[in-house]
Amino acid sequence: QVERDVGGAAGPLRLAMQAQDGHRRHGDDGLGGMAAGLPAPALALDPRPAHRLICDLVNARPGEITLVAVGPFTNLALALAHDPSIAGKVRRVIVMGGAFGLKGHGGNVTPVAEANIMADPEAADQVFTAPWPVTIVGLDVTQEAIMREADLAKLRGRGEGAGDLLWQATRHYQQFYDARDGIGGIYAHDASAAALLLVPEAFTLRAGPVRVVLEGIATGQTIQDWRNEHGSGTPWSGHPSQQVCIAVDAARVLALFDEIF
């Protein structure tokens, strides 16, 4: 619900807040203008800041927690700074972010930068170079998973109101992408990251260390050294290999909506 104080990061780690057009894509409230009509949450907010909550949950259940980040990675970076030991206790980290130039998919806020990375490039670089297993679900696959308007309409009236909520929340979002890309629907960005947990066989992964460009014209670009042929002394040297999604069975991912709703 909007207008509630939630303990999270107030801004990026180091760089000034990057100007973005999220309101143009998602509306002023992030839900296409319909957030004010939602019922009050049934659960009380946890009083801990987000990064403290992450640390506490991971320490309470070592080896069990998978973290899924579908926004800027600032809270993950703050959690690592607060308690570096969580890197060895997290089962897995899945993030929606980045773009690696596959199948013509570049960035969505600059020619090379994706929005979640550009919002805090420093945090993203720290998350990718930390000694925990990260799988990156970037625009290379999320922009292959397109929910057409007919797919969204089919879910209306299903899922005890969830289908109607999805329809209403995506009206503004679809208008943006119809005007910009003419896709007749929406990109299932965040849903693709969640789908990786449910149907991992739908994704093809590529291993290699990943770095984020932190300054200059390419700020926010994500670059993977997947060949690992460049030896020592490079920006990727000494950093852990992470997994990048390079292909997706989009039909299988989208079929999840029919199965879940």
Q: Tens of pLDDT along 56-72?
A: 999 999 999 999 999 99
Provide the token pair at 206. 């590529």
Which pTM value belongs to this model?
0.90
At residue 83, the pLDDT reads 98
Under the banding of pLDDT at 50, 70 and 90, the label for residue 14 is low
Percent of the chain with pLDDT over 70: 90
- Please report, for residues 4, 46, 52, 75, the alpha-carbon distance to residue 7 in angstroms, rounded to integers and kept in the order given: 10, 8, 9, 10
Q: Is residue 244 part of a domain?
A: yes
Phi-psi region of 105 (alpha: psi -120 to 50; beta: other; left: phi over 0): beta
Query: Helix-strand-coil percent breakdown of the chain, rounded to 5?
Result: 40, 15, 45
Q: Is residue 75 part of a domain?
A: yes
Q: Is residue 172 part of a domain?
A: no
Provide the token pair at 169. 């929340």
Confirm if 255 and 148 have CB atoms less than 8 A apart.
Answer: no
Query: 104-108, 133-137, 163-167, 228-232 — which is least confidently predicted?
Result: 228-232
Q: Is residue 10 part of a domain?
A: no
Determine whether 239 is an active site residue.
no
Q: Who wins on pLDDT, 221 or 17?
A: 221
- Selecting among 23, 26, 82, 189, the annotated active-site residue is 189
Domain assignment of residue 31, given as a range: 22-145+188-260
Confirm if 106 and 39 have CB atoms less than 8 A apart.
Answer: no
Q: Is residue 85 part of a domain?
A: yes
Q: Is residue 78 part of a domain?
A: yes
3-state secondary structure of 70: coil
How many domains in the chain? 1
3-state secondary structure of 230: coil
Confirm if 122 and 76 have CB atoms less than 8 A apart.
Answer: no
For the domain that residue 122 is a member of, what is the CATH number? 3.90.245.10
pLDDT in tens, 181-211: 999 999 999 999 999 999 999 999 999 999 9
